[in-house]
Every structure is written in structure tokens, then in C-alpha cells.
A = this chain, B = another copy of it.
């Protein structure tokens, strides 16, 4: 390995001079600069960034701890984080908690993982990261999970701690718009298949649905609201119930694509045509939603944007260049496909 010292000797200058030309700092005469650069190339010098980091007390490294990289939302978020990291010349130290394998969807058992989080953060800190992004697998309150005197941003989850930031998308607005879309198409009897109602997203989406109805003076019918558990099967079961309600809804908003898939299966079994007899909207825009029959109209999540925004906020907090927002909500967009139809043509 060739060091700055070797360059200095070969170029007949001091190590300080070499360092200056590498970092393009100080006043170095064009002649010595050229000489040094030449030697650097000849000896194929590769700087040692860990030595530099130790000296300047800054690693230009961000710790990213992701709850589970195999959950559908994580890769896109990380992709966004990477994009912004590249733009800012930052590297990513990645820790994957793999919580899904340990506790599945039972987030009540998340306590089991808290020590893992502590350990992960400690490891990252010992490696002197400049800040941390914590990527959740769904939005929930994680206040107190991480205590650190460096900036940390919670991506797809939340924390209210000082010097900590949260980036999510706007569930309520998304559900509001999806419901409005249905109403705009003439639907008045719009059912909702909810996920587990103790979750922040389910709550927000319900509110959006409700407010859309109210804002159009449509009656809120509790019979039209069914609570599933985010899984395919519950969508199926709840759809069966909705289909047998006396005043059957003409549209269903499912709180995720999987449950919408279950709705499709129920309809197939019951001879209900989608979208001719029933319009269906999903949520998440997962890959599978494109391959459903018919292709599912659904709400696309700004995952990449969440990642980018998270990194931008973190960079702002680290460089103290601006005061970042503490609680960002990004906008979703509806992707129109083939599972929705105007009400006028129904029946």
C-alpha cells in the first residue's frame, strides 16, 4: 500500500503539500501540483479514508437501519436514500434487522427487537456515522426507540423526540382522493375494507374515506366498513360479507392491494364482475396489483421520494444548513387501471 508519505518522498515535497493538492486546498503552485499529481498517478495512490475520518472526525457515512429489507416498501426507500446519498457524496452503512422473520406481523412483539436496535445503533455509532436513518416497515410511533445526540430520521415510521425527524406519506389525503375519485365517477355506495384499525395508516385512511363521504353529503354507512388484517384472505372474507349486504355497495376501497386481491377472488366466486358490477381500488401499488385480473387501480406510494427526502433532511440536520421539517408527509398518487368503472354504466 502506498501512503501520502511515499508520494511526498517520491515527489520531493512534504506530506502537507501532498495532502493539500489531494484536497485542493491551500495555495500550491501549479508546478508542484502537477508534479505531485503525476507521482500519485504513477504510484497508483489510493487514499485511506479511515485515517482521514479519524483525523477530521467525520466519516461522511450514514447508518441506515432497516427493519426488514424483504418487505415490499424497503428496497424503494433504500433506493431513494442511495440516490440522495450519491448526490451528497455520502456512503451507507446498512443494517438489516430482519424483524419480519422474527416476529412476522405481530408488532406487539416488537419489544423483542428493541435490544437489536440498540445494538445496531451502538455499532453504527462506534463506526462514527454522521447520522442515522431508521426505515420502518409501516408507519407507527417509535418515540424513544433511539436515543442519540446525532440526528436521526425515521423513514416510514415516526418519532417525536428532539433532533429526530419523520418522513411518511399522507394516508388521509390519499384515501380522501381515492374516495373522491369513486364519487366523481358516480359511486355513492362505497365500502371500505380496513386494515387493523390500531395502526396509524388504517386510521388515516379511514379518516380520508370518511371525510370524502361527508364532503359530498353522502351518508356514512357503518355496514359498509369491514375490518380485515391486511392479508389476502381477510379481503376475501370481508368482500363476501359486503356482497351479501342488502343494499350492496357499488365500489370497494381496500386499504391494501392484497386485500383487494381477496376481493377479486370473492367476486369471481360470486359471479360479480369487476369493474362492471363492482369497482375496486387498492392501496400500495405493489407489483402484484398490476398482474391481478383485472389490473388493479390503486394508490401508489412515494417510496423513493420518502427515501430521498429522509436523506435530504438528515443532511440538512448534519450540516445544520437549514432547519428541516420534523414531520413530513408526502403525497401519494392514484394509478388508474382497469378495476374501476363509472357508476352510470353499472347494472
A-side interface residues toward B, CB under 8 Å? 46-51, 53-54, 59, 61, 64, 69-70, 72, 74-76, 78-79, 82-83, 91-96, 98, 122-123, 125-128, 232, 261, 265, 268, 286-288, 290-293
Output the nearest chain B residue to A83 by Cβ-Cβ distance: B98
With a CB–CB cut-off of 8 A, which chain B residues contact A268?
A: 293
Output the nearest chain B residue to A286 by Cβ-Cβ distance: B287
Output the nearest chain B residue to A1 by Cβ-Cβ distance: B57
From A54, A69, A122, A292, residue with most partner B Cβ within 10 Å: A69
**Contact: B49 with A91, CB < 8 Å?**
no
Identify which of B79, B122, B125, B291 contacts A96 (C-beta below 8 A).
Answer: B79
Identify which of B47, B122, B126 contacts A48 (C-beta below 8 A).
Answer: B126
Identify which of B53, B128, B291 contacts A291 (C-beta below 8 A).
Answer: B291
**Contact: A76 with B83, CB < 8 Å?**
no
A91 to B119, CA, bound (A): 13
Knowing A91-B123, A288-B291 are in contact, say whether A78-B50 is a contact too (CB < 8 A).
Answer: no
**Contact: B70 with A75, CB < 8 Å?**
yes
**Contact: A128 with B49, CB < 8 Å?**
yes
A98 to B85, CA, bound (A): 12
A72 to B268, CA, bound (A): 29
**Contact: A79 with B70, CB < 8 Å?**
yes
A264 to B237, CA, bound (A): 25
- Stoichiometry, as copies per complex, reads 2
Contacts A69-B75, A291-B291 aside, 12 further interface pairs with beta carbons under 8 A come to A50-B127, A69-B78, A69-B79, A69-B82, A79-B96, A82-B94, A83-B98, A91-B123, A92-B93, A94-B94, A265-B293, A288-B290
Minimum distance in angstroms from A14 CB to a CB of chain B: 21
List 8 interface pairs A-B (beta carbons < 8 Å), by A numbering.
Answer: A46-B122, A48-B54, A49-B128, A64-B94, A79-B96, A82-B96, A82-B98, A287-B288
Identify which of B93, B122, B290, B293 contacts A91 (C-beta below 8 A).
Answer: B93
Identify which of B69, B75, B126 contacts A46 (C-beta below 8 A).
Answer: B126
A72 to B288, CA, bound (A): 12
**Contact: A127 with B51, CB < 8 Å?**
no
Identify which of B76, B96, B125 contacts A78 (C-beta below 8 A).
Answer: B96
Identify which of B54, B125, B232, B288 contacts A51 (C-beta below 8 A).
Answer: B54
Minimum distance in angstroms from A62 CB to a CB of chain B: 10
A47 to B290, CA, bound (A): 49
With a CB–CB cut-off of 8 A, which chain B residues contact A261?
A: 291
Minimum distance in angstroms from A48 CB to a CB of chain B: 6
With a CB–CB cut-off of 8 A, which chain B residues contact A59?
A: 50
A76 to B126, CA, bound (A): 27
A61 to B128, CA, bound (A): 13
Output the nearest chain B residue to A303 by Cβ-Cβ distance: B70
**Contact: A93 with B96, CB < 8 Å?**
no
Output the nearest chain B residue to A60 by Cβ-Cβ distance: B127
Minimum distance in angstroms from A35 CB to a CB of chain B: 23
With a CB–CB cut-off of 8 A, which chain B residues contact A64?
A: 94
Minimum distance in angstroms from A319 CB to a CB of chain B: 20
A91 to B287, CA, bound (A): 31
Minimum distance in angstroms from A226 CB to a CB of chain B: 20
**Contact: A98 with B79, CB < 8 Å?**
yes
**Contact: A128 with B69, CB < 8 Å?**
no
Minimum distance in angstroms from A96 CB to a CB of chain B: 4
